[in-house]
Amino acid sequence: MFSLLRSMWLVFLHMFHKRDTYQYPEQKAPLPARWRGRIALTRDPDGEERCVGCYLCAAACPVDCISLQATEDEHGRRYPEFFRINFSRCIFCGFCEEACPTYAIQLLPDFEMAEYNRQNLVYEKHDLLIPSQGKYPGYNYYKVAGLAIKNKDKGEAEHEEPPVDIKSLLP
Amino acid sequence: MINAWWIIGGVLFVLLNTAAGLIWLERRMLALWQDRYGPNRAGPFGLFIVLADTLKLFFKEDWIPPFADKVVFVFAPAVVVASVLMSFVIVPFAPGIVVADLNIGILFFLAMSSLGVYSIVLGGWASNNKYALLGAMRGASQMISYEVFMGLALMGVVVLSGSFNLQQIVESQRTVWFVIPQLLGFLIFMVAGVAETHRLPFDIPEAESELVAGFHSEYSGMKFGMFFIGEYLGVTLISAMVVTLYFGGWLGPSFLPPVVWFAIKTFAFISLFILLRASMPRPRYDQLMEYGWKVLFPLSLLNLLVTAAIKLWLVTK
Amino acid sequence: MPIINIDNIPYEVKEGKNLLEACLSLGLNLPYFCWHPALGSVGACRQCAVKIFKDEQDTRGKLMMACMEPVKDGMRLSVNDSEAVAFRGHVIGWLMTNHPHDCAVCDEGGSCHLQDMTVMTGHAYRDYHFSKRTYRNQNLGPFINHEMNRCIQCYRCVRFYKDFAGGKDLDVFAAHNHVYFGRQQDGTLENEFSGNLVEVCPTGVFTDKTLKQHYTRKWDLTTAPSICQGCGLGCNIIAGERYGSLRQITNRYNGAVNGYFLCDRGRYGYEFVNSKDRIREPLVVHAPDDKANGLPVLQHVRNRMKPGKMIGIGSPRASVESNYVLKELVGEHNFYLGIGEIEHELIRLMLKLLKEGPVRSASLQEAAAADAVVILGEDLTNTAPMMALSVRQAVRRMPVENAISNIHMPAWQDAAVREAVQENKGPLFILNVVETKLDEVATGAYHTAPDNIARIAFAVSHLLDGTLPEVTGMSDEGKQAAATIAAALRGAKRPLVIAGYGGGSEQVIRAAANLAWALKQQGADAMLSFTVPECNSMGLEMLGGLRLESAVDAVLNGSAETVLILENDLYRRLDLHTANQFFGHCKEVIVLDHLHNPTTERANIVLPAGTFAEADGTLVNNEGRAQRFLQVLSPQGSVQESWRWLLQLGDICGHTHLRSLLHYDDLLKAIAAKYPVFAGIDTITPPADFRIAGQKIPREPHRYSGRTAMLANINVSEPKPAEDGDTALSFTMEGYRGEPPSSVIPFFWAPGWNSVQSVNKYQVETGGSLHGGNPGKRLLEPNVNGQTKFYTNIPDPFIPVGGHLLLVPLYHIFGSEELSIHTPGIAQRMPAPYIMLHSEDARRFQVAAGHLLYFMDNGHQYALPVVINDTLQKGAAGIPVGLPHMQVAEAPQLVKI
């Protein structure tokens, strides 16, 4: 019984506490770097698209709001032919970012993307692609993967031996 | 004597505005106790939120579920507002400012407040939804049980004042407010009042964490609004009754008119209701019933017996 | 049946199996790589290690490879033993040391056996930090993509390609940890079954190049059980769709038909569905004074139909349902089979022989189990490719059985058995007008004219059964051939005789039946198999109708004015001049088809018909097995099933019977009720109201992605998903998640098994039938009780006629089929038009290879470049069939040069 009264008293005392609210439009809230907001497609250190169209983000998405089509350039480098996020469905869970094996898809600390027309919340690749490496500077997926692309032949990635000469008899 | 129609009009006007204002007040007070601002955008101090809320309720789709019992479904929300408004008939706001000065005022209040149960039961039943039905059943048993202690607690005041007439009860508090001799009765009445209006922490019929929205799960638009208004009117009614019965009604130093004293006291209790909401966790349903029947019931009987005995002793001395 | 104890639980298992098969058949998860149910065990990958205990007292046990250990009664083993688990984890770890980090850009990802097995063994993190080996890739042609870095050296590819499918241009090169699987140099993989490497390879070394053009992960495909339309064998396939286009064909295991494999025409010939030549909307040619613009198209059709003056032409590539509805709509006496004279006679004869004869038609799997095979006048590799694969297995049957009894090894001990068999072959005799690819595995291959083939077969029948008439006037060569064949067939327990449309000769068909019947008379469990040209040739013939030539006559003499043509390009059936004449005399031509072709150009109204991917339907294959294909995608535009167009037309015309067919199931029931031969086709798949636990069967896997985004560019409010009122399948991912009935399996998947290898979980035993029986229903059963009426009419030997050549049809796996040539990869491998001559004939007509040869047919002149082949019968000329821009008359026939 006393504890009830005490908690009522303590709650009552909050009347004299400072308020925690940010008066949002006039006063911006500081967002931490890992805040899960706007989704963007980043570029690798060479300025190329990081996304290789592996579909893992789409598969991880719990509301199925990502759809894309993978394609290849003439040198065998994969990239998305289109990449669409329906932000009217997105719940900003960040699973896509976690699933991405190339650090391409990243959630940035920005949430101001409200629209009066729902159709405007459908973002295509040119809306998503940013000229930045985002949170993971320096990473280049094709430097790790064994596929040959333009300006990187077989065996030129990290931890790769030069291609095997299969006609050699040496041990 | 002021024209009775003016009183009725005035009471209705004040009450309905109070109920609407409480929407804003409660949100602001809760925010205050939770270190927030609450509604502060629409109009001065966010007062127009009431307007916005009401407009929203009016423009919401007025949906009646196809599986519901249509007549009862529409009828139920009206019952709650009507019964609470009827109770206000006997509340004396100031000397002479009362709609009907009944000599059985308290009995009328008890009768009317028990009618409120119907709205919950009928609403829950007509919704034809399991959560609504569960909420309604809880509401019915909770309200019927607490009705008992409420009535018993009141009897102490009746015994002391010797009247069921609320004006006379107020008048008999000129020497000492009944909260002093009837502290126990007051506490029981308070608890029962909270339960009667199914306000937090006793909002078990709604219990949104278990029952979606309890008895009014299926309600929307202005029909839901009626339950909403009914609840705030109920809060006002219980506060007004507490003031009338235990805190001397309109009595107070004469630098303010009596009706203002009444309003100030009532407002204080309304705030207390909101503070309760801000600070109390909801008990379990069985705990509520147990508390009622095993604690409050014997206490209220005891209170009545002791009060009656003392009164008897004082009279015969 | 032996009982084995796995982790102290006794299980009853089948004798003669190995432990891996036993474990998988019991539904246990045991990782493996080099073993394949169709290829047997070699014990190369060390992945399926289990612990085997001597007896109950033995607590230490020893690690053994499950795929190399036969099942023994009372055996005790542990799959979950910690040492076995750790061993398997290490093996994967070693396999992964050189496997690149490129799952994200690998086409196998999401349906990768290596991924599944890595997860299954718990090897989740890589602890190898040194350099990885790399290889250069090869260009393996239009079908297969090569990415050698990913190889884990399981050897499955060469075992399938060389040992199973008889390919010669894929092998393993180099030594030690540099072994390389590829061709000797860049170039197209020649084998017709190369596409199976995609499914056989446990990882992404060989992937589907056509899928790469529009890459989609397995989990994103909307798939449905389908039937291949490439030839008459009716292989079961799974077709997958994404964003409204067909993306991939994979094998759908059917233990009685195609088993684990498909041919390349079937696997890669699907892209015509996405072709830009598709008809998506109805087309109406208006007369200048036509005021009816804007009417619904069916109203136009109705306005142009003249009662009593309308005929319908069916199609062997349209489903039984579509042909049936057309036949009902125009009436029995106005329904013509849309196939040429020769083809019609051949198939009618085959149907008669299979129905009335005492010998059963062989399924593909029964054919693979035959121990002696005679092929009469058929180039199987090109006319019925999967049958050729079955024959390659049948050739090994007898030597394998001998070897097993000699070395006392089970058949699944692949390496040991191959060592024992060496190059021994069972009896396979091929009699064809020209050399065939299967000749390389044949005991005897004879190249002669169709009539001579029939004569030799009749002679063999006579040698087997003296009561049958003797063939007189045989050449010595022929006599010797007959004697060799007869001698080889005498010892056979399950001989198989194959003939078909490829030879184009009724005599050969009769001779084949005679031979099979004679073998049956001798007590052998003989089988007969006839190939048919198109996916529903047999079904169309079973439905019955008038010959196409009489349709031409009816139009020319004016008794018919309106022609309703169902999914048929008559320019492929009639020669150019007859076809032109035919269309010239038609008042109204109404065509239902998928693709624009010369026939649709002559049409007044074209209705867009759904391909196999956009339609439900039933096909009857050469064996007489009715099989159902189900709609994969909800079509774009106004495309719908032909039978639905025709039913709607029937409704608008007030046709009482067609009006009563409200649902697809009603249609099936009506067919089964009207034609006793089709009895039971309404039960091949469960009806539309079939539910498991109240739910439909989803076409999309539970990981299907992008539902709320794929159409968001058009409208952010998602449309209601398409509903399927015709079948038990739904177009969404909602529905029953367990195993569906075998006839409606939209995809193979089991928890932990994302790759095609998950088919294990759907089988009664590995390599056995699917749970609940293999799908499809055999409609033809032999007449075992009747008297066998042998043919006694022996044709005269073929004698070349001066100045003339006997045109014989030559088929090509890539090119002879009408629809698949609309696929870029297939078109790339299609031969150019030619005429094949023997060098002596070439000298006779004074032409050399590459020159144009002019010849006359039916008063019209043709010219084709010459190709010389000395295995061709002298006096005959081979012309390829079905190639585009080859407007040549029917073959075989005698033409004047």
Q: What domains can be seen in chain C, in order of their start residue?
A: 3-80 (3.10.20.740), 283-342+539-732 (3.40.50.740), 355-532 (3.40.228.10), 804-896 (2.40.40.20)
Look at residue B270 and tell me whether its pLDDT is greater than 60: yes
| Chain A residue numbers touching B201 (CB-CB < 8 A) | none
The encoded tokens of residue B9 equal 């009009």
C136–chain A Cβ distance below 8 A for any pair: yes
* Residue A63 to chain C, least CA–CA distance (Å): 7
CB spacing of A15 vs B32 below 8 angstroms: yes
CB spacing of C131 vs A61 below 8 angstroms: no
Cβ-nearest to A14 among B35, B276, B280: B35
Which has more pLDDT, C824 or B203?
A: C824
pLDDT at position A102: 92
Work out how many CB contacts closer than 8 A connect A with B.
32
- SS3 state at C171: strand
Cβ contacts of B212 within 8 Å, gap of 6 or more: B131
pLDDT at position C891: 65
C617-620: strand order across its sheet: C617-620, C625-629, C777-778
Mean pLDDT: which of B18-22, C106-110, C473-477 is highest? C106-110
pLDDT at position B200: 76
What residues of chain B have any CB closer than 8 angstroms to a CB in chain A?
32-37, 275-276, 278-280
The encoded tokens of residue C777 equal 């229903």
Q: What percent of chain C shows pLDDT beyond 70?
A: 98
SS (HEC) of C68-91: HCECCCCCEEECCCHHHHHHHHHH
Rounded to whole angstroms, the Cα distance separating B17 from C771 reads: 72
CB spacing of C220 vs A55 below 8 angstroms: yes
Which has more pLDDT, C274 or B212?
A: C274
Total domain count, chain A: 1
Residues 79-108, chain C: which have Cβ within 8 Å of A? Answer: 100-105
pLDDT at position C306: 76
pLDDT at position B2: 59
pLDDT tens digits along C723-741 = 898 999 999 999 999 999 9
Q: Do A19 and B35 meet the contact criterion of CB atoms below 8 Å apart?
A: yes
Identify from A12, A16, A23 which residue to disrupt to test chain B contact, counting B C-beta atoms within 10 A and taking the largest count: A12
Average pLDDT, chain B: 85
Rounded to whole angstroms, the Cα distance separating C108 from C114 reads: 9
| Chain B residue numbers touching A22 (CB-CB < 8 A) | none
Look at residue C164 and tell me whether its pLDDT is greater than 60: yes
| Confidence bin at B214 (pLDDT 50/70/90) | confident
Which has more pLDDT, C766 or B99?
A: C766
Rounded to whole angstroms, the Cα distance separating B192 from B146 reads: 5
pLDDT at position C206: 95
| Chain B residue numbers touching A20 (CB-CB < 8 A) | 35-36
Mean pLDDT: which of B137-146, B285-294, C600-609 is highest? C600-609
| Chain A residue numbers touching C703 (CB-CB < 8 A) | 59
Look at residue C292 and tell me whether its pLDDT is greater than 60: no
CA of C564: how far to CAs of A14, C124, C325, C667, in Å?
85, 62, 12, 20
Average pLDDT, chain C: 90
CB spacing of A7 vs B280 below 8 angstroms: yes
Q: If you compute the radius of gyration of chain A from its CA atoms, what whole number of angstroms results? A: 24
Rounded to whole angstroms, the Cα distance separating C83 from C71 reads: 21
Q: Do A86 and A105 meet the contact criterion of CB atoms below 8 Å apart?
A: no
Closest chain B CA to residue A8:
B279
pLDDT tens digits along C190-201 = 999 999 999 999
| Confidence bin at C127 (pLDDT 50/70/90) | confident
Cβ-nearest to A19 among B36, B279, B280: B36
CB spacing of A119 vs C133 below 8 angstroms: no
Rounded to whole angstroms, the Cα distance separating C589 from C605 reads: 7
Cβ-nearest to B37 among A14, A15, A21: A21
* Residue A5 to chain C, least CA–CA distance (Å): 51
Identify from B28, B30, B32 which residue to disrupt to test chain A contact, counting A C-beta atoms within 10 A and taking the largest count: B32
| Chain B residue numbers touching A10 (CB-CB < 8 A) | 279
Cβ contacts of B140 within 8 Å, gap of 6 or more: B117, B120, B121
A84–chain C Cβ distance below 8 A for any pair: yes
A59–chain B Cβ distance below 8 A for any pair: no
Average pLDDT of the segment spanning C632-652: 90
Q: Do C504 and C893 meet the contact criterion of CB atoms below 8 Å apart?
A: no
Instruction: List, as residue ranges, the binding site of A.
Output: 51, 54, 57, 61, 90, 93, 96, 100
CATH number, position A63:
3.30.70.3270
pLDDT at position C84: 94
Look at residue B245 and tell me whether its pLDDT is greater than 90: no
Cβ contacts of A135 within 8 Å, gap of 6 or more: A33, A34, A103, A106
On whether residue A18 sits in a domain, the answer given is no
With touching defined as 3+ CB pairs under 8 A, do chains B and A touch?
Answer: yes
Q: pTM of the predicted model, to two decimals? A: 0.83
Rounded to whole angstroms, the Cα distance separating C385 from C264 reads: 9
CB spacing of C220 vs A122 below 8 angstroms: no
* Residue C372 to chain A, least CA–CA distance (Å): 41
Strand partners for C46: none
Average pLDDT of the segment spanning A49-73: 93
Instruction: Determine the residue type at C259.
Output: G
Cβ-nearest to C134 among A71, A161, A171: A161
pLDDT tens digits along C48-92 = 999 999 888 888 999 999 999 999 999 999 999 999 999 999 999
Total domain count, chain B: 1
Look at residue C291 and tell me whether its pLDDT is greater than 60: no
pLDDT at position C890: 63
| Confidence bin at C888 (pLDDT 50/70/90) | low
Average pLDDT of the segment spanning C663-681: 93
pLDDT at position C290: 58
| Confidence bin at C188 (pLDDT 50/70/90) | very high
Look at residue A157 and tell me whether its pLDDT is greater than 90: no
| Confidence bin at B228 (pLDDT 50/70/90) | confident
pLDDT at position C294: 61
Domain limits at B295? 4-316
Owner of token pair 């020893």: C62
Which has more pLDDT, A96 or B209?
A: A96
Look at residue C889 and tell me whether its pLDDT is greater than 70: no
pLDDT at position C150: 93
Q: In this predicted structure, which of A38-47, B89-98, B228-237 has the lowest mean pLDDT? A: B89-98
On whether residue A137 sits in a domain, the answer given is yes
HSE, CB side, 13 Å, CA atoms: give it for residue C657: 15
User: Which chains touch C (3+ CB pairs under 8 A)?
Assistant: A
SS (HEC) of C420-463: HHCCCCCCEEEEECCCCHHHHHCCEEEECCHHHHHHHHHHHHHH
pLDDT tens digits along C483-526 = 999 999 988 899 999 999 988 889 999 999 999 999 998 888 99
Domain limits at A68? 30-143
Average pLDDT of the segment spanning C124-134: 86
A155–chain C Cβ distance below 8 A for any pair: yes
pLDDT tens digits along B160-169 = 888 888 888 8
Owner of token pair 């809230």: A29
Rounded to whole angstroms, the Cα distance separating C794 from C456 reads: 10
| Confidence bin at C303 (pLDDT 50/70/90) | confident
* Residue A91 to chain B, least CA–CA distance (Å): 22
| Chain C residue numbers touching A101 (CB-CB < 8 A) | 103-104
CB spacing of C105 vs A78 below 8 angstroms: yes
Identify from C134, C173, C212 which residue to disrupt to test chain A contact, counting A C-beta atoms within 10 A and taking the largest count: C134
Strand partners for C254: C259
Q: In this predicted structure, which of B238-252, C279-293, C363-377 has the lowest mean pLDDT? A: C279-293
On whether residue A15 sits in a domain, the answer given is no
Element containing residue C489 per DSSP (H, E)? helix C476-490
- Hey, CA dihedral for B16, B19, B22, B23, is it positive or negative? negative
Size of chain A in residues: 171
On whether residue A97 sits in a domain, the answer given is yes
Average pLDDT of the segment spanning B237-251: 86
Q: Do C67 and C32 meet the contact criterion of CB atoms below 8 Å apart?
A: yes
| Chain A residue numbers touching C218 (CB-CB < 8 A) | none
A17–chain C Cβ distance below 8 A for any pair: no
* Residue A5 to chain B, least CA–CA distance (Å): 9
CB spacing of B35 vs A23 below 8 angstroms: no
Q: Is A76 left (phi over 0), alpha (psi -120 to 50) or beta?
A: left
